[in-house]
Amino acid sequence: MTVALGCLIFFGWTAQAQLPPDAQINSELANQFFTHAPNPDLSHRSDVTDRIKALVMQQARAMIEELRPWAKDPNALLVGPGLSDENTIRTNAHIAFGLAILSRCAFDGYPQGLSRKTAHEKSIAILRFLLPTHAAGGVLCNDNKHWANQWQSAFWAYSAGSAAWLLWDDLDAHQRWLAARMVCDEADRFMGQIPPAQVKDDTKAEENAWNAKVISLAFNMFPKHPHHQKWGITAERWNASSFLREADIKANRIIDGYPIEHAVKGANIYDDYTLENHNRVHPDYMSCFAICGYQRLSYEWAGNHPPEALTVNADGVYSVLKKLAFPDGGFIYPNGQDWQLHRQADWVSIHALADVDFNDPQAAALLRISLDATEKMAARDPKSTIVSPHKLLWPATESIIVENLATTWLLLSAHGEKVTPTPDSDLWRELSGKFIFENGKFAVLRSPHSMSTFSWGAQVMGMVVPMQKDLLLTPYPRSLIGTITAEGAKGDPIDVQKVVLPDTNDAMAVLGILKRAGNIEQRFGFVSLLDGRTIYVDALSTADPVKLTTLDLGPIGVLNESDWPYHNGTRTVYRDGGKDIFTAADAGKATPVTMKSPWYNIDNVMGIIPLQTPGAQIYDPKPTPAKGRLEQIFHLNQFDVTKLNLANRGAFATTALLFYPGDRAKDSADNAKKCKLGFSTNASVFRITLEDGSQVTIDLNDLKLTVQLKQEQ
């Protein structure tokens, strides 16, 4: 009778929901839904685990402030409008799981405004919204829909289900039954299905991984369920498929004792371990190997051995990510970034996982670097969330951080760090080198002092930045190759006609031919010497008359943040005869500045020598529409198209730029006097003499490169 009354109170006006009788609920909880709350291993405690726990608590306390009662159950709490969509359900599920972890596992260190009791009560209150609104509960969200059997609902059910599992002993019978039905119903969706596959443009890697989470949770949570064994096999298949390469399928790779080619439709990542999503090679989605890896917690809580499927190709994917790692704790994005830049709080989890799974001392070092940055982000306002509110791109951003950092803390508390971190002084040297990703269609050149990248895939762009905690440039999607538009041509599509990677030990070089604005040919050359000095050249021609509306060559995106811990909110452009200071706080009302100088230097750390720029140099402080950053474009060769005569066929525009990452303004002034540009019989063969006498010839006619370095005396 007590349980029945609890049901009436719990559901309030929804007591008429289609729930089975109490006797059936209790019977099922004792049989197919039998489980018990896990006891996470907390045997390892260190400075790193304490630091991560403090971050979880700050984030959790801030998120609790956003919780509001739900109109359909005043004892239920939630963030957001209470709809059945991702923004509501996912956000609340992540918060519930993070708070459940604190409630069960954090015995000390709580800041003012948060306690173990508060975490416990708030997590259960969120579950009072999440559990009955899943299909089995019969209660509708505020949009008169259930959340179930949706594109990402398996992912949300994993987080809500994990929270319920940790708090199992504190839930009433109806809450347990609803949690069990939610997890099992979502897991059953994938029984007998073959995981989807796609490599080009839109991988299925992260989708297969997040679907696998609820399947593995069902397997580990309910050992007496009739589908237990099938869930175990299904979870292995979906996890194994997530980061599978074509090479694995061709080799008929055996994973957890099963030939994988019989269980999948195809690959989800390239053979060079790169991955495409959102029509680009995307480091953020490559990091989703952690969605598989962190499932080990569910297996360990149940006393089961984590399967091999959780780490398929994870070490290879992580090895690529390390080559894109930056001293600020984030990544460089060779193909542009359509999410926010400063996601250091998310990357703590992947480095911790790589430390535990791969015994990787570089991962241990990168963990601390990302952790340092995250702590500085958190310190901006200790009573607020880690990410500045104006940098949020979608509602779940902050709740993801709660769960990610909480599960990272549990992972390290259970396993401890496996290795001694590589010292920072050695880390950047060890990660240096030239790396060509022919499948992913981009190249990287790293030195301890600079990084250069060029992509010729779905996004064509080049970058060169000094290696420092203050990220100077943004992954502007038209960086260097520019923007070209013309009447009669829609937008600025880029058709890659040909790319050549010259075989040289002295540089990382990419030469090629692009088709722009319908019928314009842009031949380009990007050459980065091993010491970081970088050359970009291009030559434009047209076979038919064209009327241009935009011709902006050689632009770079400058990052100018007002509240980033490693930047003071100003950028200074030094030039011959003076300097211009651009303040982030004034960016919205500032006007473009046109300059003319034989050299430029940004912030005394990046020298630029415009050897051939017949257009104008213009720094535009007005922020671009790029998400989650303040991006300002420095146009290095922008043409006034009204003064161009393209009625005749042939070459009509050229660019030659030198970049010296790490140089001071005085160095740039000196180098500009020594660097020379010469052309052959036409404007497509660039003969460049550098400040030390080294010579680089870039032949855009035949796409050939000659490098003659000046030998040190």
Would you say 172 and 3 are in contact if contact means Cβ atoms under 8 Å apart? yes
Question: Residue range 687-694: average pLDDT?
Answer: 97
Window from 111-115, 439-443, 647-651 with minimum mean pLDDT:
647-651
- pLDDT for res 186: 98
Q: What is the pLDDT of residues 476-505, one digit of tens each?
A: 999 999 999 998 888 899 999 999 999 999
**Which spans in 385-498 are helix H?**
397-415, 424-430
- 418 vs 636 pLDDT, higher one: 636
For residue 526, give the CATH number of its domain.
2.70.98
- pLDDT for res 14: 36
Q: Which amino acid does the sequence have at 3?
A: V
Phi (first) and psi of residue 39, to 5 degrees = -120, 90
**Structure confidence at residue 390 as a pLDDT band (50, 70, 90):** low
- 344 vs 543 pLDDT, higher one: 344
Question: Residue range 117-121: average pLDDT?
Answer: 98
Domain of residue 653 covers 433-708
Q: Where are the beta strands (DSSP E) in 307-383?
A: none
- With 0-12 / 13-18 / 19 or more C-beta atoms within 10 angstroms meaning exposed / middle / buried, residue 423 is exposed
Look at residue 62 and tell me whether its pLDDT is greater than 70: yes
- pLDDT for res 12: 34
Q: How many H-runs (helices) and E-runs (strands) does the chain carry?
A: 19, 27
Question: Residue range 128-153: average pLDDT?
Answer: 95
| SS3 at position 599 | coil
Does a structural domain hold residue 443? Answer: yes
Structural domains of the chain, count: 1
**Structure confidence at residue 391 as a pLDDT band (50, 70, 90):** low
Question: Residue range 431-439: average pLDDT?
Answer: 97
Q: Which helix (H) or strand (E) holds 304?
A: none
Q: Which amino acid does the sequence have at 83?
A: L
- pLDDT for res 491: 87
Question: Residue range 446-473: average pLDDT?
Answer: 97
**Structure confidence at residue 31 as a pLDDT band (50, 70, 90):** very high
Q: What is the pLDDT of residues 36-59, one digit of tens each?
A: 999 999 999 999 999 999 999 999
- pLDDT for res 642: 86
Question: Residue range 353-373: average pLDDT?
Answer: 97
Question: Residue range 429-447: average pLDDT?
Answer: 97
Q: Which amino acid does the sequence have at 697?
A: T
**Structure confidence at residue 647 as a pLDDT band (50, 70, 90):** low
- pLDDT for res 16: 38
Does a structural domain hold residue 471? Answer: yes
Question: Residue range 167-190: average pLDDT?
Answer: 98
Window from 7-16, 252-261, 569-578, 690-699 with minimum mean pLDDT:
7-16
Q: What is the pLDDT of residues 654-684, one digit of tens each?
A: 999 999 999 999 999 999 999 999 977 577 8
Would you say 127 and 139 are in contact if contact means Cβ atoms under 8 Å apart? no
- What is the distance between the alpha carbons of residues 153 and 182, in angstroms, rounded to a whole number? 10
Does a structural domain hold residue 566? Answer: yes
Pairing assessment for the beta strands 483-486 and 548-553 based on DSSP bridges: antiparallel
Question: Residue range 196-204: average pLDDT?
Answer: 95
Look at residue 348 and tell me whether its pLDDT is greater than 60: yes
Q: What is the pLDDT of residues 557-583, one digit of tens each?
A: 999 998 899 999 999 999 999 999 999
Does a structural domain hold residue 327? Answer: no
Does a structural domain hold residue 309? Answer: no
Question: Residue range 6-26: average pLDDT?
Answer: 60
Does a structural domain hold residue 290? Answer: no
- 572 vs 543 pLDDT, higher one: 572
- pLDDT for res 649: 60
Does a structural domain hold residue 528? Answer: yes
Question: Residue range 259-272: average pLDDT?
Answer: 93
Does a structural domain hold residue 400? Answer: no
- As a whole number, the mean pLDDT across the chain is 93
- pLDDT for res 8: 30
- What is the distance between the alpha carbons of residues 485 and 74, in angstroms, rounded to a whole number? 57
Window from 200-214, 251-265, 454-468, 662-676 with minimum mean pLDDT:
251-265
- What is the distance between the alpha carbons of residues 399 and 458, in angstroms, rounded to a whole number? 31
Please report how many Cα atoms fall inside a 13 Å half-sphere around the Cα of residue 401, on the Cβ side: 31
- 683 vs 638 pLDDT, higher one: 638
| SS3 at position 558 | strand
- pLDDT for res 23: 96
